[in-house]
Amino acid sequence: MKYKLLLSLLLIGSAKVSAAVYTTKPGSKFHTEPNGERINIGAEMIETPALEKKDDWCFFKLRDGRGAAINPPAGWTLCSNLDKFVGN
């Protein structure tokens, strides 16, 4: 009985998806859509997983240097602009 409960808890716990935060590569640019109008923001970090993906472009939640959400809250950039893992 205890094993079934433990197994159930492990399965439920492993199903959770948590966001990870990464810094962006120097010179990363953000857009309103893939190859669209450029957004002039100073986003230093992005939250993964991407909200949407089109070819080499990803739509990420944007964060400032302290990890707080900024305005606009999300933007498109090349998926390869992820740089260093910061944390969850």
Question: What predicted TM-score, i.e. pTM, was given to this entire model?
Answer: 0.75
- Give the chain as a DSSP string: -HHHHHHHHHHHHHT----EEEEE-TT--EESSTT-PEE-----EEEEEEEEEETTEEEEEEE-TTS-EEEEEEEEEEGGGEEEEEE-
Residue 36 counted as domain residue: yes
**37 within some domain:** yes
Convert the pLDDT of each residue in 29-67 to its tens digit.
999 999 999 999 877 899 999 999 999 999 999 998 888
Q: Domain range for residue 74? A: 20-87
Query: Is pLDDT of 3 > 50?
Result: no
Residue 51, in any domain of the structure = yes
Looking at residue 64, what is its pLDDT? 86
Task: Give the total number of structural domains in the chain.
Answer: 1
